Amino acid sequence: MVWFNLYLGVTLEFAKELVRMYRDLLTILDKMRKRHDDSDYYEKLIDALDSIGSALTRMRARGVIDPKIYEEYERVLKEGFNV
């Protein structure tokens, strides 16, 4: 049982870090948009943003992360859309 609690702790910390990465990358993309939106590397960064979001969604759907962590991710999404 100790290994399971350790696994959950590591996984939850990882999920929290993914949410931070998502928020930071979204902020960077917002700042870069006007000057770099037609660049291939900008599109690759958008792909990375999609992948992080997809990973969080999959972790939530599989019950790996707590709904509260996923709510933080949703809050970041809503802020991006000014909802």
Residues 50-61: pLDDT tens digits? 999 999 888 888
**What is the domain partition of the chain in residue ranges?**
2-80
In whole angstroms, give the CA distance from residue 33 to residue 14. Answer: 28
- In tens, the pLDDT along 13-51 reads 888 888 899 999 999 999 998 899 889 999 999 999 999
The pLDDT mean for the chain works out to 81
Residue 81 predicted with pLDDT over 70:
no
Dist. CA 16–CA 37, nearest whole Å: 28
pTM metric for this prediction: 0.74
CA 45, CA 26: separation in Å to the nearest integer? 9
What is the dihedral sign for C-alpha 71, 13, 22, 54? negative
